[in-house]
Amino acid sequence: MRVHLGSDHAGLELKEHLLGWLRDNGHQPVDHGPFVFDAVDDYPVFCLRAAEGTVHDPGSFGVVIGGSGNGEQIAANKVEGVRAALVWSDETATLAREHNDANVISVGGRMHTVEEMTRFIGIFLNTDFTHEERHVRRIAMLTDYEETGDLPALPASAVGHGPDA
């Protein structure tokens, strides 16, 4: 499978490692940069391209990497059709795929060892979405909101409560 990668300077070392690791594990990495170390580069330049690449390449996944992974996840999630998950453990890598059908993983290069992050990415790439009705329903609500801007209907138990009352 093709895997689109983007990072900033804090994720460059892991990205370079992943290019070889992905090839060695039968994947086709697509490197969206950066290509050289620049301590003041801007993650949106590269992470938005990796996210766009993922959306426009059906069946592919994306990996965005920064110091914490937070900004990179936010950037990726600005691209319509991306469901990027910040992953910090084996369990969050698994749940991002099983429950959220995430197509982009974000990791923090300063938060974990290269070995840990590589394991998270391996888990993510090898975990399938469960297709359970409740997860499909929730993703459909998000997709509908993304496309229309219409908020999901309130459940009967919430009608008459909160700011919509």
Active-site positions read 72, 99
Rg value, the chain, Cα: 17
DSSP string for residues in 108-147: ETTTS-HHHHHHHHHHHHT------HHHHHHHHHHHHHHH
CB-CB contact of 127 with 95 (8 Å): no
- Within 10 Å of residue 81's Cβ, how many Cβ atoms? 14
CB-CB contact of 36 with 46 (8 Å): no
- Residue 122's contacts (CB-CB under 8 Å, 6 or more residues apart) are 25
- Within 10 Å of residue 147's Cβ, how many Cβ atoms? 10
SS3 106: strand
